[in-house]
Amino acid sequence: MHAARLRRGEDIARVRADGVARNDALFSLRALTTPGPTIRVAVAASRAVGGAVQRNRARRRVREAVRTVLATRREGRTGADLLVIVRRGALDASAADVRGAVERQIAAVLP
């Protein structure tokens, strides 16, 4: 399943306010189901994660894990808007740990 980027500030605010929250040591996930098959994803990292280089690295690692997990999901499921807020632990975790955490959290919020 192809994931699009969630870009508009009002869409992100709607997910933050109305979405179902799931927390992990590596990131916080908010999900809001939407009509249609598209899954849109926004990945954010606060300055608490580190400097710009660390924040970008953490976002890239989590974004790639989300991309690979969504690529393995079956088509025809409901759409959703996902907001992933990266935590500092994502910098030191292995790629397999990040992908496993993403799989668990996405499976919990998406039917």
Round the average pLDDT of the chain to a whole number and report it. 90
- At 2-43, the pLDDT tens digits run 568 888 989 999 999 999 999 999 999 999 998 888 899 999
For residue 48, give its domain range: 3-109
- At 36-78, the pLDDT tens digits run 888 999 999 999 999 999 999 999 999 999 999 988 876 656 7
Nearest CA to 82 out of 61, 100, 99, 107 is that of 107
Cα 70 from Cα 37, distance rounded (Å): 12
Q: Pseudo-torsion of CA 24, 59, 75, 25, nearest 10°?
A: -10
- Indicate the number of domains in the chain: 1
Cα 82 from Cα 29, distance rounded (Å): 7
The domain spanning residue 44 has which CATH number? 3.30.230.10
- The pTM (predicted TM-score) of the whole model is 0.89
